[in-house]
Amino acid sequence: MWTAVSAGTIFVSLEPGYGFVIEGPFWHTSTVPMIVQLGTPSFVLPDGFLNWNVDAENAMAQWNEHMGGTQFTWTEADPSTGAAKMDGRNSVLFSNNAFGMGFGRDTLAVTVFESSGNVMQEADVVFSTAVAWSSGPNVGAGKDFHRVALHELGHVLGLDHPDQVNPPQKQPAIMDSTVSSLNALQADDIAGVQSLYGPPATPAIGSRLANISTRALVGTGDNVLIAGFVVADQTKQLLNRVLGPTLASFGVPGPLADPVLNLHNGAGDLIFSNDNWKDSQQSQIQQTGLAPNNNLESAILATLAPGSYTAIVSGNGGGTGVALVEVYDLQTPIGRASNISTRGLVSTGDNVMIAGFIVQGPDLKNVVVRGIGPGLQGQVPSPLPNTTIELRNSQGQLVQSNTGWQTDSISSAFVNFYQLAPKSAQDSALYNQLAPGSYTLILKSPTNQTGIGLVEVFDVD
């Protein structure tokens, strides 16, 4: 059971094609201020949220992107400060009771509201401490804090259960009373909230991958660093950048002294080349605010049509060392850059392959990440013989890891579903639905071997 709410008049939508239900009272203000006092779990959340507060706040942000007449706002408070019914605050908290009322059997959370006529005056959300909460698509519907938070905040806005009216409405909805595998707002939920508050001035753009980077050892011949990406949907402007000397200031040993960047299209044709970033496009690159710090580093600003592209990083004059290759999406509302991959020499210690990417929200992003080594056999000399891939959040905490993609039954089912199964059982792959934020992927050998490896991030939405 999702929730219990204070009794009120229930109105069924008469909009054709929708089944949303409203409680009766709703907010007549431009903001709905919430006090979030949930705290931090004792473990790392498996979808990348840093704590319970951020998790709930993201659920509010997802409702916000679909509303025009009002918006959630929030401040955080210490969980120990507690809350009381009708205390003039809209609180979000954990408790073993709902302001003195016990939770019913199988009740996950309760939203209690007070109103005057059709005017909402206060709404509090209480999550039961009896539930072994986690957050993510792989933790089970009845324990996924994020999907329950989305549902309860819909009650705060004035929505009720469309599957409990007579006759029941059957459109998919996060607001249904039955816990399901849904973990995002559905068209019916959006239609319901817009019936109360109107649509936003600009349509929601969802989530996307942005600012992809990979750090690895750049060799010569087959051991240069090769980054691939796909521009989907429509033409967009991207900045490709390679850092070498700058890495020394971050304590990276053996940085590439003078990188060269070549950009190829899907047919393999060289379309742009750059040695030192000031050689061309200096003023345009400076205007992006992403100009390299060192004149010997490389950058290419390009407007690219939909298709596949490859950026090849080498050392000027055959130089070798550690480099960082980056792809910056400069037009996030337009199209998307997806399916990012980087191939290079994977060594040990500081010279493992390290990839970074950003999920721009507020919506969560479905991704498959892969670390390929044995699957490159016959395609490259000396492939990495076995692989471990680690996914870490912005605080460096381990979110998920895999050694051999078939060892994780849930991830492997999704990897198969998206037709992204690696060729070798010793390659690694993970599926996740990630919260907005910065992430790091580390590709290495579990037995400290070396060889050529490929790290990939697939946007599977």
* CB within 8 Å of 167: residues ≥ 6 apart: none
**pLDDT at res. 279:** 93
| Cβ neighbours of 131 (radius 10 Å) | 17
Per-residue pLDDT averaged across 157-185, rounded? 86
Dihedral sign from CA coordinates of 14, 19, 25, 30? negative
Task: Tell me which residue of 60, 43, 144 sits closest to 361, measured CA to CA.
Answer: 60
Per-residue pLDDT averaged across 24-51, rounded? 96
Per-residue pLDDT averaged across 79-92, rounded? 89
Structure tokens at 409: 């039954």
| Cβ neighbours of 235 (radius 10 Å) | 13
Report percent pLDDT > 90 for the chain: 69
Identify which has the larger pLDDT, 369 or 205: 369
How far is 35 from 121, CA to CA, in rounded Å? 15
Q: How confident is the model at residue 180 (pLDDT cuts 50, 70, 90)?
A: confident
Q: How confident is the model at residue 449 (pLDDT cuts 50, 70, 90)?
A: very high
Q: Helix H segments across 41-100?
A: 52-64
**pLDDT at res. 371:** 95
In this predicted structure, the answer to whether residue 131 has a pLDDT above a threshold of 90 is yes
Per-residue pLDDT averaged across 256-279, rounded? 95
Per-residue pLDDT averaged across 441-446, rounded? 95
**pLDDT at res. 19:** 58
In this predicted structure, the answer to whether residue 20 has a pLDDT above a threshold of 50 is yes
In this predicted structure, the answer to whether residue 2 has a pLDDT above a threshold of 50 is no
Candidate ranges 104-108, 224-228, 394-398; pick with highest mean pLDDT: 394-398
Per-residue pLDDT averaged across 318-343, rounded? 82
Identify which has the larger pLDDT, 369 or 141: 369
In this predicted structure, the answer to whether residue 14 has a pLDDT above a threshold of 50 is no
How far is 265 from 307, CA to CA, in rounded Å? 8
* CB within 8 Å of 379: residues ≥ 6 apart: none
Q: Mean pLDDT, the chain, as a whole number?
A: 89
Q: For residues 209 and 357, is the Cβ–Cβ distance under 8 A?
A: yes
Identify which has the larger pLDDT, 22 or 135: 135
Per-residue pLDDT averaged across 159-178, rounded? 85
163 phi, psi to nearest 5 deg? -85, 0
In this predicted structure, the answer to whether residue 18 has a pLDDT above a threshold of 60 is no
Plot region of 154 (φ>0 → left; ψ -120 to 50 → alpha; else → beta): alpha
Q: Tell me how far CA of residue 199 lies from CA of 27, 204, 289, in angstroms.
A: 15, 10, 34
**pLDDT at res. 81:** 87
Per-residue pLDDT averaged across 147-170, rounded? 89
**pLDDT at res. 332:** 66
Which residue ranges make up each domain of the chain?
A: 11-197, 208-459
Q: For residues 216 and 354, is the Cβ–Cβ distance under 8 A?
A: yes
In this predicted structure, the answer to whether residue 396 has a pLDDT above a threshold of 80 is yes
Burial category of 88 from C-beta neighbours within 10 Å (exposed 0-12, middle 13-18, buried 19 and up): exposed
Dihedral sign from CA coordinates of 157, 163, 165, 169? positive
> C-alpha dihedral over 347, 431, 153, 179, to 10 degrees?
-150
pLDDT in tens, 206-241: 788 877 888 898 999 988 999 888 887 788 889 999
Q: How confident is the model at residue 5 (pLDDT cuts 50, 70, 90)?
A: very low
Q: Crossing angle, helix 145-157 and helix 52-64, to 10 degrees?
A: 50
How far is 382 from 297, CA to CA, in rounded Å? 29
**CATH of the structural domain 11-197, one choice from 3.40.50.2300, 3.40.390.10, 1.10.357.10, 3.30.300.20:** 3.40.390.10
**pLDDT at res. 336:** 67
Candidate ranges 95-109, 193-207, 440-454; pick with highest mean pLDDT: 440-454
In this predicted structure, the answer to whether residue 38 has a pLDDT above a threshold of 90 is yes
Q: State the architecture of 208-459 in CATH terms.
A: Sandwich (2.60)
How far is 104 from 95, CA to CA, in rounded Å? 13
pTM of the model: 0.88
**pLDDT at res. 15:** 41
How far is 416 from 48, CA to CA, in rounded Å? 23
